[in-house]
Amino acid sequence: MRGLRVSSIVVGLALMLGACHPGPSSVDGRRIAEANQHPGDWVSYGRTYDEQRFSPLTQIDDGNVGRLGLAWFADLDTNRGQEATPLEIGGVIYTTTAWSKVEAYDATTGRQIWSYDPKVPGDWGVKACCDVVNRGLAMWKGKLYVGALDGRLIALDAKTGRPVWITRTFGQDTSYASTGAPRVVKGRVIIGTGGAEYNQRGFVSAYDAETGRLDWRFYTVPGDPSKPDRQPSDQPLRDIAAKTWAPGTWKVGGGGTVWDTIVYDPKLDLLYFGTDNGDPWNQRYRGVRGDNLFLTSIIAVRPETGKYVWHYQLNPGDEWDYSAVQPIILADLKIGGRTRQVLMQAPKNGFFYVLDRKTGELLSAKNYVTVNWAKGIDLKTGRPIETPEARYSDTGKPWVGVPGPLGGHSWNPMAYSPKTGLVYLPANEAGFPYQEDPAFKHEPLGENLGLDLSGGGKDPDYAAQKAQLASLKGYLLAWDPVAQKAVWRADHPGPANGGVVVTAGNVVFEGSYDGKFAAWRADTGKPLWSFDAQAPIMAAPMTYQVGAVQYVAVMTCGGGAFGLSAGLPGLKSGHPHQLCRLLAFDLGGQAKLPPLPAASRPPLNPPPATATAEVVHQGAELYGRYCGICHGGSAVSAGVTPDLRYTPLLASDGFFDVVLGGALRSQGMVSFSRVLTHDQAAAVRAYLIQRANDTKAAQAKGEDLSAG
Ligand code: CA
């Protein structure tokens, strides 16, 4: 009964609003700030400037969500990772897909209206640590903005999908990659980049939304002191940051890229963004011990000038990839009897931070997942109380850190409901063996971490890897940010699960890496509904209403950092299919996905393993440094890119045509001849042959150690 009554009120409201359903040209700062006046639309990446991802829609609620069914689906023309949150306005849903493509669909039928392909060169894929993904669009006064992987910032006419202007945010000779959703604030398109593992220097930029002209740029780490940037970051970098670095480290970039969160508070007129790790990860190779500002920091600036206001650093002298890039949510919380204007972040390092967003003062921090690198955060100094073993570059000993670089939580959006007062976040527990590479030197291709990534090294029992595997967990966590404690959690088979949306109907939606799309009661965590999406889900769902009907939409397909690199022997949390789609659901929806194709994998047929243990180990180290980031740790692919144990190229010299000759360059597999000799490539092949033979032997014994 309750559902019926609420539905009829919503229908009436929608009919009233339907008469003046404003389109893309109506989207400006006021429209985004007052998004609740048009609750049916989703006009910005996190729906509103505060990025709470809380929808006031109530047609779908905790009483009727069990009747949710597929309304329509659209197949995408890429099988790489999908991370975007679509926008919806005026009955049209807009989204980005892998390779920075943009699609517009009728939001009620899924009929394609237009499609735009920026034709990103395939070989840019090797510069993207974490897949050729894109997280979404910004809209402003009739235009859509997409940051293409290769650094082009493109303004499209929302009606036609045709480019209005294109500008470059970084040069083609760099190793930056752009995957984040732009935001538009006061007529400026704000966007950062990725690339902190590739000798790059982090920055965030503001471009005029009408013309694409660069307005200001804020660098996050010091540059060449003899060449001032003449940017708003110059002064704070000179006064605060420079003394926390060894002289000359700017020559290797420094890191601190701004690849995800950018949030705006119209009341305080402050723009917030978070920065990534240092480059290389291992701090020893960044010169001296020091805080290395502004790495792993949240920074507040003025949106019109980029002028620095405050910063808070999460991990001084980080060497674990514990970035501060993860989504920030703004909210007003009652803390200690006072209403505080806060920002909240659940960054990779596993602590949930609540900061006063006017001043940057740390109000509270508590670990939301298992954490072994620190005993806590000192509220007086704001600094972590580190456990000494975590400093692997001091001890010289391998150390399995929890969280690892996947993070207790990464880019996958979290949500906050002002109704329940809870934050809903996709949490991970995934350890990582940090081990210094004593022979490290910077190379022009691949990641520069300063770590031994041979996956167990010379240990025949793969002890570090087994510890890593044992640590793998993933769950949807409902977190009380005032009390700093878990209220409920829903366990998934493993980590890397999807982003979240929560609604006024007391429902929270999340997809998972095993291919389920599901709903829970927001207040209690009671499971309410689930759907077999036929592919992993990493992206965040969103919800919108057109006419009388509320929809929930989500994109499918695995990939990203975990999907590409975390192929681990024995990992079972994935999904065998990679069917990339945009799915939309409504109450009583009757559409059906086509039957799944049969999963098939050719039998393993490697040549015999004849190389010496020394050569195999050398191959393991080189594989770990150059190949594992895309083809999976321990040569076990999680299914997004080819599993090299199975490639027929192991038995032929075609292997060298690809690895050194660049024969598959257009598909993203560039030549590695700049960093590998023929002998070294042969060692990589010997390692792959060994891994393939080990797997074949395990399969014969009935212990299939291959993932997915
Ligand atoms: Ca990073």
Quick: pLDDT tens for 174-225: 889 999 999 999 999 999 999 888 889 999 999 999 999 999 999 999 999 8
Q: Is the pLDDT of residue 276 over 90?
A: yes
Q: Is the pLDDT of residue 16 over 60?
A: no
198 Cα–ligand 1 center, Å = 10
19 Cα–ligand 1 center, Å = 47
569 Cα–ligand 1 center, Å = 24
110 Cα–ligand 1 center, Å = 35
Reported as a single tens digit per residue, the pLDDT across 84-142 is: 999 999 999 999 999 999 999 999 999 999 999 999 998 888 887 788 999 999 999 99
Interval 289-298 mean pLDDT: 95
Q: What percent of the chain has pLDDT over 70?
A: 93
Long-range contacts, stretch 247-250, CB < 8 angstroms, 24+ apart: 247/287, 248/287, 249/222, 249/286, 249/287, 250/201, 250/221, 250/222, 250/223, 250/224, 250/225
CA distance linking residue 211 with residue 400, whole number of Å: 49
Q: Residue 28: what pLDDT?
A: 95
Reported as a single tens digit per residue, the pLDDT across 433-487 is: 898 988 888 888 878 888 887 765 556 566 776 777 788 899 999 999 999 999 9
323 Cα–ligand 1 center, Å = 6
- Which of 14-18, 74-78, 450-454, 632-636 is the least confident region? 14-18
Output the six-digit token pair for 657. Answer: 């045509």
The pTM for the full model equals 0.92
Q: Residue 60: what pLDDT?
A: 98
Higher pLDDT pick, 47 / 700: 47
Residue type, 390: A
CA angle 67, 68, 71 (to 5 degrees): 130
Q: Residue 475: what pLDDT?
A: 97
Interval 60-84 mean pLDDT: 96
Q: Is the pLDDT of residue 252 over 90?
A: no
Fold designation for 613-701: Cytochrome Bc1 Complex; Chain D, domain 2 (1.10.760)
Q: State the Cα torsion 109-113-118-119 to the nearest 10°.
A: 70
Reported as a single tens digit per residue, the pLDDT across 224-248 is: 989 989 999 999 999 999 999 998 8
392 Cα–ligand 1 center, Å = 18
504 Cα–ligand 1 center, Å = 34
| CB 101, CB 156: distance < 8 Å | no
Residue (of 113, 108, 101, 79) closest to 147 by Cα position: 101
Q: Is the pLDDT of residue 602 over 90?
A: no
Q: What percent of the chain has pLDDT over 90?
A: 71
Strands (E), 391-456: 399-401, 415-417, 422-429, 432-434
Residues with Cβ < 8 Å from 622, sequence gap 6 or more?
676, 680, 683, 684, 687
As a whole number, the mean pLDDT across the chain is 91
291 Cα–ligand 1 center, Å = 17
Reported as a single tens digit per residue, the pLDDT across 641-669 is: 888 999 999 999 999 999 999 999 888 88
243 Cα–ligand 1 center, Å = 23
Q: Is the pLDDT of residue 289 over 90?
A: no
Specify burial of residue 9 (Cβ count, 10 A radius: 0-12, 13-18, 19+). exposed
CA distance linking residue 258 with residue 267, whole number of Å: 23
440 Cα–ligand 1 center, Å = 18
CA distance linking residue 30 with residue 7, whole number of Å: 28
CA distance linking residue 48 with residue 444, whole number of Å: 40
Residue (of 342, 299, 345) closest to 322 by Cα position: 345
478 Cα–ligand 1 center, Å = 26
End-to-end CA distance of the chain, in Å? 44
pLDDT band with cut points at 50, 70 and 90 for residue 615: very high
Q: Where in the chain is the domain with CATH 1.10.760.10?
A: 613-701
Q: Residue 708: what pLDDT?
A: 29
405 Cα–ligand 1 center, Å = 7
271-294 burial, b for 16+ CB within 10 Å, e for fewer? bbbbbbbbbbbbbbbbeeebbbbb
322 Cα–ligand 1 center, Å = 7
Output the six-digit token pair for 425. Answer: 């976040």
Report residues near ion ligand 1: CB below 5 Å: 196, 276-277, 321
CA distance linking residue 621 with residue 627, whole number of Å: 10
685 Cα–ligand 1 center, Å = 28
CA distance linking residue 591 with residue 656, whole number of Å: 47
Interval 23-43 mean pLDDT: 93
pLDDT band with cut points at 50, 70 and 90 for residue 581: very high
Interval 595-611 mean pLDDT: 85
Reported as a single tens digit per residue, the pLDDT across 340-358 is: 999 999 999 999 999 999 9
321 Cα–ligand 1 center, Å = 5
Q: Where are the alpha helices (DSSP H) in 506-585?
A: 560-565
CA distance linking residue 476 with residue 648, whole number of Å: 40
Q: Can you state the angle between helices 613-626 and 678-700, rounded to 10 degrees?
A: 100
Q: Is the pLDDT of residue 250 over 60?
A: yes
Farthest CA pair distance, the chain: 76
Higher pLDDT pick, 409 / 251: 409
Q: Residue 2: what pLDDT?
A: 42
| CB 255, CB 277: distance < 8 Å | yes
Q: Residue 4: what pLDDT?
A: 44
121 Cα–ligand 1 center, Å = 23
DSSP 135-159: ---EEETTEEEEE-TTSEEEEEETT
Question: Active-site positions?
Answer: 321
Residue type, 664: L
Residue (of 684, 630, 694) closest to 660 by Cα position: 684
Q: Is the pLDDT of residue 14 over 50?
A: no
Q: Is the pLDDT of residue 329 over 80?
A: yes
